[in-house]
Amino acid sequence: MLVDFHSHTVESDGTLAPAELAAAMQKRGVEIFSITDHDSLGAYANLDAAAGAATVVTGVEINTTYRGNEVHVLGYGFPRDSEVVATALAANREQRRLRAQRMVDQLQRAGIDIDMRGVRAEAGHAESSLGRPHVARALVRAGYVSDIDAAFRSLLGVGKPGYVPSAHMTPLEAVQLVVRAGGVAVLAHPGRLKDEAIVDELVDAGLAGIETFYPTHEPGQVAHFRELAARYGLVMTAGSDFHDARYNVRGVGMEVERADVAGFLELVL
């Protein structure tokens, strides 16, 4: 079956409007999907009418910081009007804005002529969750780098002039937040983890799932995360992490066996 529980729109750092992303899901034949914008639920305002025959599961990707590393937690199936979620996401978005401003300030001191007006223009939406990709796009537009990857490598990565560490909530707090809101907390793209030992702590905090099927996970990694899910009693999910057709060449949708995501579907449908 075709599913996609990890995708982004202009409400965070994607390039498609929610209705456009829903249309892409429909064109691909995705049966069930979530939009998981970073720290934002804005995409769901008018999404149901655009989803067509597909089933939509409410979702969000919460950026967190732990031991100097970024860990992303996906939350699903909570009420869209949850005040506890809205308050926490607003706090994360403010941290995003402050971080983007610090990046711009540091780049300016390094002689790079960009400003927050240009960064916000790349976000393209008043409610967008500002982030490093928007600063990167501003650098591309200003001609300082050729593409987003080059911006990260040369100006925004660790040790570079525009690097600013994130200061979000911890992943443990994010998992607990999703659980308090009545949702299902899932560890995003575990293949990016620098220290897998954190899974123990997240499970103790209420983690329910792991994103086993992901475009950059090699077969050996998929097998490993299957084993990890079985060991901890976690459900498995699948997501494309779609942001932009120029960079996500595989497009939306992940083809999986229904049995592999059945546990997750039982929790959210």
What does the pLDDT look like over 235-244, one tens digit per residue?
999 999 999 9
Nearest to 120 by CA among 143, 101, 106: 101
pLDDT tens, position by position, 204-236: 999 999 999 999 999 999 999 999 999 999 999
CA nearest to 92, candidates 130, 123, 119 = 130
Task: Give the separation between CA 91 and CA 89, rounded to whole angstroms.
Answer: 5
Is 209:264 a contact under the CB 8 Å cutoff? yes
Name the token pair of 251. Answer: 């497009």
Kindly report, residue by residue over 97-156, the tens digit of the pLDDT: 999 999 999 999 999 999 999 999 998 865 568 889 999 999 999 999 999 999 999 999
Q: Which domains are assigned to the chain?
A: 2-88+167-268 (3.20.20.140), 100-156 (1.10.150.650)
Taking phi over 0 as left and psi of -120 to 50 as alpha, with beta for the rest, 202 belongs to alpha
Cα three-residue angle 168-5-37, rounded to 5 degrees: 40
Assessment of whether the complete model's pTM goes beyond 0.75: yes
Give 199-250 as a 3 state SS string: HHHHHHHCCCEEEEECCCCCHHHHHHHHHHHHHHCCEEEECCCECCCCCCCC
Quote the tokens at residue 265: 């579907």
